Each structure stands twice: as structure tokens, then as C-alpha cells.
Structure 1
Amino acid sequence: MQSKNPVFARSNEFKSGGYATFDAPSSGRGAPPADASASTLEEWYRKPSATPTQSRRMTLDDVVVRTALLGGVLVLGAAAAWFANVGLLLAIGAALVGFVLAMWAQLSKKVRPGVMFAYAAVEGVFVGAISHAYSSLYDGIVGQAVLGTLGAFAAMLIAYKTGVIRNSPRFTKVLTIAGLGYLVFGLVNLAFAAFGGTSVYSAGGLLPVLVSGFGVVLASLFLVLDFDYVEQGVRNGLPVKESWRAAFGLVVTLVWLYLEILRLVAILRGDD
């Protein structure tokens, strides 16, 4: 069972098969046997390594710290774009560059913290520009969207940890189909609006609320996949460097969730 967050789906390290499914590390001591037991893995990690930092296993604290670092850079980029009041063209350019950087970080077999930080900075410019544009129309909307994002994150984390929502093959399959459908819908809607049509989100009535609300729920549920595969990574005893990949996946999902909530709040306030 693979995570459908593209960051984790690309990485063998976060599969449930454990560290025995990884490519052999470059520490000079090779990978543990495919049938290694927990005690064998413990002994393997204690062996001398050409790169001592790789002998330490990833912990939840490592993921939290790196998520905070990437999130901090994103917030700084957003603040810079906000106060500079960057234009729409620069915002679109930042979004495209951010997409390329995200794909680079995702598709690379090597963990690339530098690329991840670059993504956070560039994506922050896009988020800051979009947030400023919405704020000029609806006072206080950014604070509402931030609180909504934090609330959704906390709710999904509690639901996951208490077992109310758990990952499963069926859950992953349904969420994947829904995510792909939502992506196709978004691209079609964008193309339709670009050629003079009316966007679903500006059509008025209940439909925009339902569609945007679906996007918020979908992004929130993807957090469950992220939590599950972070937990799998910690349980499988990944090297500490893999915490960067886990943190990056969470940041990508949180940015998506924030933008969906921002749009939903704007639609709701526009109907007042």
C-alpha cells in the first residue's frame, strides 16, 4: 500500500516493507538483510559508519523540526510577497517554479533539502500574493484560513491517532480516484475560465460552496495518508535524512489545504 501524496508515493522508504526495501545506502556498510529481524536491525544501526549521522534513525521529532523549518521559510516568502504586493504575473511564475522544484524533490532518489527549501521560499511567494489579493477583498480572511488550516490539521491528527480514521487499501484507492478526479476538474475549469467561460467558483449559488468544500475535505483526508506514512517511516527505522522527505510531504499537503480553505471562506463571505 503506497501513499498517494506524490512525495511519499515516489519513495520506497515509506512503504510498509521496511528498510529492507530501500536502495543500499552509501554509508559503506551496505543494507541489512531482507529478512532482518528487529534485533538484527538494531545491531546493524550500531555498526561503525563512514557517515555517522546516517546511523541515527528518524524520529517523529525530526519530522516535526524539519516541517517547522520548511514552514518557516514558506511563511517568510509569503510575508515578503505580501509586503511587496507582488503582481499576478510574478505570482503565477512563482507557482510554476514551485511546481518544478516540487517535482525535482519528488522524483529525485536523493533527498534534497536545498531543493525543498527553495520550493518553500518560491511557493511562499505564490501563497503570499494570493493571500494578499483575497485580503484586499475580504478583511481578516487570511487569519480565518490559517485558523481553519490548523483546525483541520489538528482534527485529522486526532482522528488518525484515535483510530477514527485509518489508512487502508480501500481508503487509499477511493481517495486516489477522488484526487485525480478533482485535479482533472480543476484543470478543465481553469481552461474554461481562461477562454472566456464562467468558472464554477464564480457561478453563484450552492454549487461553488459544495465544490470548494469537497476540495477542503479531500485535502484534509490526504493528511491521513501523510500521517500514516510518516508513522511507517519511523517504525521502519529510516535514516534521519528521510525526515526531510516526510516533512516536505506534509508541507505540500498543508499548502494545498490552506489554499482550498482560503477559497472556500472567500466564497462564503462573498455570498453574505
Structure 2
Amino acid sequence: MRESSNPVFRSLPKSQGGYATFGTGAAGYGAQQVQADPYAAPYAQHPEQTGVARPMTIDDVVTKTGVTLAVLSAVAVVSYYLVSQNLGLATPFALVGGLGGLALVLIATFGRKQDNPAIVLSYAALEGLFLGSVSFIIANLVSFGGVGMIAQAIVATMGVFFGMLVVYKTGAIRVTPKFTRMIVAGMFGVLALVLLNLVLGLFGVGGGAGLGLRDGGGLAIVFSLVCIALAAFSFLIDFDSADQMVRAGAPEKAAWGVALGLTVTLVWLYIEILRLLSYFNND
């Protein structure tokens, strides 16, 4: 399987000729094994009779991703409303949601628990808590875009997502190892700049703005556009990884890992778009 720029996808166990062990799924249950052993074909149609998890399908990916995003959206709406009623909740919600969500992603990634629905849905809930709070802060305190700006960010995020899905399906941009390496390198570069900007800001450089990557100026706009582009191209690699998992016969529970990976990218894209819009609504 080609390596993904998304750490959730990159940590999935792989093996030649099929999928290795993903959570409770059995090893090597895929189309290649069925073709190699014609006697296994009847059991492939009824995997429950063999005690082997059935292969993952695109429908599984769509369903699990939909459920994950539904939980995230519901919690985000509640979080936004509560913060709008009590500004004192903004910081606690942002910290608990952001740090808690990050902790669960790390546990899922390095503990190879991406197929655990409890972890994935808990991440969605925590990230919803974070997004609701941060959305209110950016749309009403940092800028004056309000709910309308949030709606624009949501529509733009979904537009980019489905647009890149069309790009992937039509093959307009081919996902190659070189392409993947470029995106990964770009993401590491962005992360390094963010950390440097944070450290310089803490030391008072640029009046606390550091390199000016988030101050709303020209450089900040360019930086946000670069981040949006990287997030968008990351979808292509994520789609390709999910497609290869389906072809390799990954067990059905692996769809939760795909849902987690796509949600991580969607959250990043939404935040960057919302931040970019705020630069034009802060006068």
C-alpha cells in the first residue's frame, strides 16, 4: 500500500498480497487470496461461517465517516451555543477538546486502534467541542463574520472535499510516491513554521506575532492558502489509501480508521478556511 500523508493512514499495518492484522480482522482476507484458492470462494460470500471479518466496502467507509461527522457536528453546535451563552467556557472547551482529540489520535495511531469505534467517536465528540468553541472565537471575537462566515467555511470545506474526490475519481491528478513525498514534505515544512512562529511569538518577536503567519497580513493569507492546498491534496492520498485498503480486502472494521483519517483532514481544512475568511472580516 502506498504511504499516506495522513499519520492515521500511515500507521495502518500492511503486508504483501493483502491486509495484515487490523484490529480484530484476520490476516490476508482479500480478493487475492480468494482467487488463489478457488475452494475458498464459497466461504468468501459468507465470512461469518468461517469466523473471519468480511472485507471492507466503500459503503462501510461512507457510513462510518457519516456517523463520525454527525457526532462531531452535533457536539460542535452544542459547544458553539454554550460558549455564546457563557464566554468563560470558550477556553476550557478549546483546551479539553483540542488536547483530548490530539491524545486520542496519537493513541489510535501509535496504539494501532484506528478500528476502535469508541476511540473514533470519542475523538469526534472532543473535536466537536473544540470546533464549536474555536469557531465562536474566530467568527465573533477575532473577526466579525459571525454565523454567516462559519456557514461559508463549512460550504467551502465540503466543496473542496467533493471537488478533490472528483479529481481523484477522474484521475486528473495521479497519486504517485513522488506526489506523496512532496505533500508529506510540505506538511512537515508547515508544522516547522508554525512551531517557529509560536516560539518567536512567545519571545515577543514581531510584537508577539512571530513571523506574522497568523496576524492577518499578506504573509498570513499566503500561509493559509498553502495550508488549504496541502489539506486538499492530502485528500487525494487519503482516497487512494482507502481505495487500496478496499482492494486488499481490509476487514470491515478498518472503515473506522478511514473515517478517523478523513475527519482529521476535514477538521484541519475547515479551521484553515475559517481562519482565512476571518482575515477579510476583521475590520
- With the length of structure 2 as denominator, give the TM-score of the two structures: 0.85
| Partner residue, 1:226 | 238
| Partner residue, 2:129 | 125
- Structure 2 matches for 1:133-172, cutoff 5 A? 133-136=137-140, 137-139=144-146, 140-172=148-180
2:69 is aligned with what amino acid?
A: G
TM-fit CA distance, 1:18: 4.4
Partners of 1:36 and 1:7 lie apart in 2 by: 26
Structure 1: unaligned runs, 5 residues or longer: none
| Partner residue, 2:44 | 45
1:269 is paired with a residue whose SS is: coil
1:235 is aligned with what amino acid?
A: R
Partners of 1:25 and 1:83 lie apart in 2 by: 37
In the alignment, which of 41, 59, 62 is matched to residue 60 of structure 2?
62
| Partner residue, 2:86 | none
Structure 2: unaligned runs, 5 residues or longer: 84-88
1:246 is aligned with what amino acid?
A: V
Partners of 2:213 and 2:145 lie apart in 1 by: 16
Contact 1:62/1:243 (8 A) holds in 2: yes
TM-fit CA distance, 1:195: 3.6
Contact 1:134/1:141 (8 A) holds in 2: no
Deviates most, 135-144 or 186-195: 186-195
TM-fit CA distance, 1:269: 2.9
* Pairwise CA RMSD: 2.6
| Partner residue, 1:198 | 209
Identity %: 34
1:68 is aligned with what amino acid?
A: G
Partners of 2:155 and 2:29 lie apart in 1 by: 44
- State how many pairs are aligned: 266
TM-fit CA distance, 1:76: 1.4
Contact 1:80/1:128 (8 A) holds in 2: yes
The question of 1:100 aligning with 2:103 is answered yes
TM-fit CA distance, 1:4: 1.9
C-alpha change, 1:51 and 1:94, in structure 2 (3 Å) is farther
TM-fit CA distance, 1:50: 6.9
